[in-house]
Amino acid sequence: MISPELALPLSLAFPLVGFVAIWLLDKRPNWREAATLATAVVLLALAIVVFQAVGAGARPAYVLFEVVSGLPIAFEAEPLGAMFGLVASGLWLVNSLYSIGYMRGHGEKHQTRFYMCFAIAIAAAMGVAYAANLFTLFIFYEVLTLSTYPLVTHKGDAKARHGGRVYLGVLMATSIGLLLPAIAWTYAIAGSTDFAPGGLLSAHAEAARPVLGLLLALYAFGVGKAALMPVHPWLPNAMVAPTPVSAFLHAVAVVKAGVFSILKIVVYVFGVDFLHETGASAPFVWIAGGSILLASAIAMHKDNLKARLAYSTVSQLSYVTLGAMLAVSAGVMGGALQIAAHALGKMTLFMCAGAIMVAAHKEKVSELRGLGRTMPITFVCFFIGAVSIVGVPPLAGSWPKFFLMLGAADAGQIAMIGVLMLSSLLNVVYLLSIPAVAFLKPAKGADAPLEKEWYAGPLYDGRNALPRDPVKEAPPFCLIPIILTATGAIVLFFFSGALYDYLLPLTETGR
Amino acid sequence: MIDLAFIAERYNYWIFIVLMMIGVYIVISRGNLVKKIVGLNIFQTSVFIYYISIGKVAGGTAPILPAAYESGHEGKGARASAAHGESAPAPGAASGESLHAAPQSAPEALPANDLASAVAQTPQGAGPSGEAGLHAAPGEAANPLLAPPDGAGDAASALGEAAHKAAEIVYSNPLPHVLILTAIVVGVATTAVGLALAVRIREAYGTIEEDELEAADDIAEFGAAFGEKAEGARA
Amino acid sequence: MNLMAQLPVLPVVIPFVAGALALLLPKGRAPWAWATFVSWLSFLASALLLREVAATGPVSYHLGDWPPPWGIEYRIDLANAIVLALVSGIAAAVAPFAYESVRAEIDERQSPYFYAAFLICVSGLLGVTATGDAFNIFVFLEISSLSTYALVAMGGRQDRRALTAAFTYLVMGTLGATFFVIGVGLLYHATGTLNLADLHLKLAGQHNRVVEAGFAFILVGIGLKLAMFPMHLWLPNAYAYAPSAVSAFLAATATKVAVYVLVRFFYSVFGLDFAFLGDALTYVLLPLGVAGMFVASLIAVFQHDVKRMLAYSSVGQIGYMLLGLSFGTREGLAAALIHLVNHGLMKGALFLAVACVVYRLGDHRCAAFSGLARRMPVTTWAFVLSGLSLIGVPGTVGFVSKWYLLEASFAAGHAWAAFMIVASSLIAVLYVGRVVELMLLREPPEQGPLSEPVKEAPLSMLIPMWALVAANLYFGLRTEFTAGFAEQAAAALMTVSGGR
């Protein structure tokens, strides 16, 4: 068994080994994908080692070297980071399986480049998860942005170029334009960028107080990956990427790295109590709430399945931001649980969308009519994922909602309880309508008399009759991961108590 | 009241300033490349005149080190100071000015906005203030510099004496001349390169008029000349 | 004679003498081999010198054994040791690179002259840096400039606009040098000395019109040489039309040396006690630096020629250095020095990448970069990585520069300046991103002269280019040689100038 101290740098180094292996195995696809999977398995094992060690109360740390005096590249695992690391590496394994099915099923080009960039991206995500200071976090945050750019523009056509431009433009603009000065400012005030339990800035309250609101704004919008409105446009635009990218990066690694950073900054840089006492975060509660509702409203208008899911992600991410900005322990807990729960749920949804594209070549919600009969497993899983995101027990998504409402009550932001309830309603409308359409409406042009009787809408004219498709699911490499994550969303509901205990030190550190 | 005499006394600076302005004006305003080089030369020449002007020092002296010779120093320090007598005109500003200004009035009476008088009023860098500095300064300035060779006290006193004797002599500091000879070499080289370039430009474009050159470039790149340049080219 | 005792003068003298000798060599490979050997020798000497200075403190060398202040003194402290190492290091990288590039772009008969001019230029730049004598700075400045005019004009075979560019550069450069020499004359007038250290002693407490005028002349003169916005008009064309290897060398060194001279005069000669300096910093350097950062970067976005784009970017990047200087604090000075070195590294690498493209495709307009990732992947990735460095992505030298500049702004109480810095970095994202997108996501041109299949650039070009790219990455993570030395140098300069 490796020591958790060693596991930290290894979990960064190992994807890079995988990167080289994938590169060398360019001409032999089977071996190349075996290398990807092997890397993912090892990475997951390493993440579990770290996770267990942190659960036992240890705080494994590793200092690489000092870049600039006072600014080392250093790693230290704490509960939140260990959890994010576990989620990211676990879902990477699932996603690697899925990628194999999807990329082959879809006949994509440049697959080697795809897997190489993925390996870098996961290394960067692990770096973000285990970063011991803002500086290290920023480095890996930027690496994550850059390594995913080739993935977003994978198709290389005009649409992909435009999407990539927005993606890179927004993320770079916010990170360099806002986050970097915020970190430098923090360093100027505190003389360090280390994450400190109880808050780095709360130890320098006098110097920090006058600029606290400004700094918080810089961080909130500077972490563009958290997609707080109005810095969200990169997320819908990133949907030009192949679906595994959307599934993993834009439901798990990239966006969660964003909200994870927000949570971590609020807890370890500002300090929950410090924010609560100064009330600097109150405006951001409203911004996050607005973001939740607005994004949901936009999602309802989207006919493109991936675009709808993207806006749903924007909305769900703001839950985490909201939890952080409530500046009470229940809110932070809700945000942290939301990271794990939403990752499972949304990844299921995205993978389903990809499976539909591979098997039925359909991208629009309106085209899904009747598809539930053709792809029953996919749509059952979609249903589970959607219900989890709406927040219905017994699915994982219900706990974060519960804690967020608790946090809103604690913080005296009663209006936010309303926002959360309204948002759940909107979720029902735009997410559950999809399996509903697929299962309940007949396929377009289907002329089965039974269905004609059952549903005879004004637009249905009964012509262009086609025999009903037999069950035609996506390839098993696509299907198995979907089943895994959907099951995960159910299982997590029952283990949320354990996760709660695990994350408890996060809220206790707030003095 | 404008003190005409004061201005007239400094005619060499006026020549410098006027030539400088003429030179820069020609460089900026003329479109012909050779004329630009002519302007550049006038500009540089004005600087030569300035350097030569400051080479004249009333009461200055070459920093010869009698003490150094006596103490068998191989004349190293002395050689240095004789050839590179930068130290001697240390009060150069003050004393150089008084060459012209002294017959006329005390420094305080001078218009304060004048470049030279400002120096005359604040000769801290040179040593003691006022007229006394005129005589004492060479010794003062040389003193710390000559300290490294042994017998500093001797050297200083001997030099101070020499300075007093030399007070009435208008001394020509050779260093600015050396500097300006170097600058002339540089200037000639620049002119040569500039003219060579002008020749090559004429070979390549068939003209050395700036407007026509720009028009030719525009035509080569965009297929048409723009605005005023175009008119210049057509003319 | 102990060679090590002569070390401070060696980086300057070796290329100077070797440059003259290069004229005697037959055309072809010999002058190049000679220049490469000499530039490596010079780099070795500079590196040894840096090591010595870092270990034992400033070194003073008396030319011809004349003691200062009479004789010319070469005084090497950390500040100029770093710049010496940068200039000679860039020369050592560009010289081996130049062979293929120059052979393609310049008449072979001119090769002895080219390498002679190159070595003289190196020598001149190193001389400016090493010397401790104000007039000597002028002489070396003109030695380097004259050879630069010739080098730029040699691009005339490829594009006749190089000739007009060289001429403009000559006129502006000579104006700048003459302004500088007037300034030096005024200082000499006021103090009677030309030795920089001695000038500082004699200028102490002098606040009069002569010194102020001298200061202004020097500021304007050096400002022209370092392409301070808005005195940069000579730079874009000169860099765009010069032979590619020359562009790379000049972009990485010439303006940097001028910035160093400015630093030297500001902090070692005038000092912060000189009240006029404070005004100049606040009311001249600060606004001009910020204006340069934005205006020049914005112009860069709209260039169709990659070399011109990079040239305008250089003007913008100089704005960062001026901004750092203008704070008048130790942190600001350190940031300016760090960026000086780092910018040399990144611009050198970028221009070398462009030179590879020019070598294969004969063009440096944007069209040539279309689809380059398919045709010249190694060059493309060198460009991408050094472009990221220019933007300031973590893990590259550009980030280290930005970080120090941001820290300096906050420490100086100019929080707004920090946002100016990052905002103009975003403009860099635009112009670098534009080219990168062309290279990575477009197809190569399908017709016209650019559509012919091309191979990757030869190894003799790739290795030096990647050496600089590697330096960009290495010094982006390990900064004791760049930021560490620069901070020490800044601290030493601030002690002399009487700041905090």
Give the containing element (helix H, strand E) for A61: strand A61-68
Interface of C with B in 54-83 (CB under 8 A): 65-67, 69-71
Does an H or E element contain C76, and which? strand C73-76
pLDDT digits (tens, 9 = 90+) for A273-327: 888 888 888 889 999 999 999 999 999 888 888 889 999 999 999 999 999 999 8
Average pLDDT over residues C47-74: 87
Enumerate the residues of chain A whose CB falls inside 8 A of the CB of residue C485.
none
User: Which residue among C395, C422, C440 places its CB closest to the CB of A177?
Assistant: C422
Amino acid at A381: C
Could you tell me if C209 lies within 8 Å of chain B, comparing CB atoms? yes
CB–CB of B92 and C205 under 8 A?
A: no
The answer, for A172 touching chain C at a CB cutoff of 8 Å, is yes
C-proximal residues of B, 19-48, CB under 8 Å? 20, 24, 27, 33, 36-37, 40, 43-44, 47
**Position B81 confidence tier, pLDDT thresholds 50, 70, 90:** very low
- Residue contacts between A and C (CB atoms, under 8 Å): 85
Chain C, 418-447: which have a CB under 8 Å from a chain A CB? 418-419, 421-423, 425-426, 429, 433, 437, 440-441
DSSP designation for C73 = E
Annotate B1-39 with b (16+ C-beta within 10 A) or e (fewer). Answer: eeeeebeebbeebeebeebbeebbebbeebebbebbbbb
Q: How many Cα atoms occupy the beta-carbon half-sphere of C366 within 13 Å?
A: 18
Distance of alpha carbon C491 from alpha carbon C389, whole angstroms: 26
pLDDT at position A445: 55
Query: Would strands B56-58 and A71-76 be described as parallel, antiparallel, or unpaired?
Result: unpaired
Strand, coil or helix: B117: helix
For the segment C372-419, what is each residue's pLDDT rounded down to a tens digit? 888 899 999 999 999 999 998 888 999 999 999 999 999 988 889 999
Which residues in C468-500 are b (16+ Cβ under 10 Å) and which e?
bbebbbebbbbbebbbbbbbbbbebbbeebebe
Show me where the domains of chain A are located.
Answer: 4-508
User: Are the C-beta atoms of C249 and C239 separated by less than 8 Å?
Assistant: no
CA-based nearest residue to C295, from C230, C390, C225: C230
Q: What does each C-alpha distance from A167 to A124, A250, A450, C421 come to in angstroms? A: 17, 11, 47, 22
Interface contact flag, B96 C189, Cβ < 8 Å: yes
Nearest chain B residue to C170, by CA: B194
Is A146's Cβ below 8 Å from some Cβ in C? yes
Question: In the prediction, which pLDDT does B162 show?
Answer: 59
**CB-based burial of residue C31 (10 Å sphere; 0-12 exposed, 13-18 middle, 19+ buried)?**
buried
What six digits make up the tokens of C35? 């220049």
Cβ distance of A178 and C422 shorter than 8 Å? yes
Whether the predicted pLDDT of B125 surpasses 50: no
Q: Which chains touch A (3 or more CB pairs under 8 A)?
A: C
Instruction: Tell if the CB–CB gap between C483 and A185 is shorter than 8 Å.
Output: no
- For residue C163, the model assigns a pLDDT of 93
Side-chain half-sphere exposure of B105, counting CA atoms within 13 A: 11
Interior/surface letters A114-150, b for 16+ CB within 10 angstroms, e for the rest:
bbbbbbbbbbbbbbbbbbbbbbbbbbbbbbbbbbbbb
- Does C410 contact chain A (CB < 8 Å)? yes
Percent of chain B predicted with pLDDT > 90: 24
Q: Which of residues 64-103 of B touch C (CB under 8 A)?
A: 76-77, 79-81, 83-93, 96
Interface test with C, best of A64, A165, A172 (most C CBs within 10 A): A172
Residue A405, pLDDT score:
92
pLDDT score at C141: 94
Contact C425 A177 (CB under 8 A): yes
- Between CA B183 and CA B175 the distance in angstroms is 12
- Contact A401/A345 with Cβ under 8 angstroms? no
Of A73, A142, A178, the CB nearest to C393: A142
> d(Cα A488, Cα A347) in Å, to the nearest integer?
11
d(CA C19, CA B160): 47
Q: For A425-465, what is each residue's pLDDT tens digit?
A: 999 988 998 888 888 877 665 544 444 444 444 455 554 44
Nearest CA in chain B to C184: B51
The secondary structure of chain A in percent helix, strand, coil, rounded to multiples of 5, reads 75, 5, 20
Q: Which two tokens stand for residue A503?
A: 């994350």
Task: Calculate the average pLDDT of chain B.
Answer: 66
Most distant CA pair in chain C: distance in Å? Answer: 69
pLDDT, residue A509, reads: 53
On whether any CB of chain B is under 8 Å from the CB of C276, the answer is no
Q: Which of B47, B86, B197 sits opposite C193 (nearest CB)?
A: B86
Select the residue from A180, A189, A231 to test the C interface by mutation, using most C Cβ atoms within 10 A: A180
Chain C residue with the nearest C-alpha to that of A222:
C422
The answer to whether residues A315 and A292 touch, using CB atoms and an 8 Å cutoff, is: yes
Q: Which of A443-447, A448-452, B205-209, C133-137 has the lowest mean pLDDT?
A: A448-452
Q: Give pLDDT tens digits for B149-199.
A: 444 455 556 556 655 655 567 778 888 888 999 999 999 999 999 999 999
What is the secondary structure of C275-290 as a DSSP string? HHHHHHIIIIIHHHHH
Predicted-complex ipTM score: 0.89
Task: Find the closest chain A residue to C411 by CA distance.
Answer: A188
Q: What is residue B94's predicted lDDT score, i.e. its pLDDT?
A: 40
How far apart (Å, rounded) are the C-alpha atoms in residues A43 and A227?
Answer: 27
CA neighbor of C310 nearest in space, from C320, C321, C299? C299
Contact assessment for residue A338 and residue A423, using Cβ atoms and an 8 Å cutoff: no
CB A248 within 8 A of CB A95: yes
Residue numbers in A near C410 (CB within 8 A): 184-185, 187-188
What amino acid is encoded at A308 in this protein? R
* Cα separation, C90 vs C252, whole angstroms: 7
Q: Which of A12, A66, A67 to mutate to test the interface with C (most CBs of C within 10 A)?
A: A67
What confidence score (pLDDT) does residue B80 get? 40
Specify the pLDDT at position B156.
Answer: 55
Query: B101 near C203, Cβ under 8 Å?
Result: no
Q: Is B114 a residue whose pLDDT tops 70? A: no
Q: Where are the domains of chain C?
A: 8-497
Does residue B165 belong to the interface with chain C, where contact is any CB pair within 8 Å?
Answer: no
The residue in chain A having the minimum alpha-carbon distance to the alpha carbon of residue C427 is A173
Q: Do A177 and C441 touch (CB under 8 A)?
A: no
Q: Which residues pair with A466 in a beta bridge?
A: A446
Tell me if A180 and C393 make a contact (CB, 8 A cut-off).
no
Q: Is C374 on the interface with A (CB under 8 A)?
A: no
Q: Give pLDDT tens digits for A284-293.
A: 999 999 999 9
Confidence check: pLDDT of C70 > 50: yes
Tell me whether residues C175 and B93 touch, CB distance under 8 A.
no
Q: What is the pLDDT of residues C240-284, one digit of tens each?
A: 999 999 999 999 999 999 999 999 999 989 888 887 888 888 899
With beta carbons less than 8 A apart as the criterion, state whether C42 and C15 touch. yes
Is it the case that chain A and chain B have 3 or more CB pairs lying under 8 Å apart?
no
Query: What is the pLDDT at residue C246?
Result: 94
The DSSP call for residue C367 is G
Partners of chain B (3+ Cβ pairs below 8 A) = C
Q: What is the mean pLDDT of residues B209-213?
A: 89
pLDDT tens digits along A74-126: 999 989 999 999 999 999 999 888 888 888 877 777 888 888 998 999 999 99
Q: What is the mean pLDDT of residues C145-164?
A: 91
Query: Chain A window 195-224: which residues touch C at a Cβ cutoff of 8 Å?
Result: 211
> Contact, B197 vs C149, CB < 8 A?
yes
Per-residue model confidence as pLDDT tens digits over B4-52: 888 888 888 888 999 999 999 999 998 899 999 999 999 999 999 999 8
* Interchain pair B141, C67: CB under 8 A: no
Of B79, B87, B93, the CB nearest to C190: B93
Interface of C with B in 115-144 (CB under 8 A): 135, 138-139, 142
What residue of C is the nearest CA neighbor of B185? C139
From the list B50, B93, B193, the residue facing C170 with the nearest CB is B193
Q: Is the dihedral of CA B161, B167, B170, B174 positive or negative?
A: positive
Q: Which chains border C (3 or more CB–CB pairs < 8 Å)?
A: A, B
Asked whether residue C41 carries a pLDDT value surpassing 60, the answer given is yes
Give B187: exposed, middle or buried? Use CB within 10 Å, 0-12, 13-18, 19+: buried
Q: Tell how many helices (H) and how many strands (E) occur in chain A.
A: 23, 2
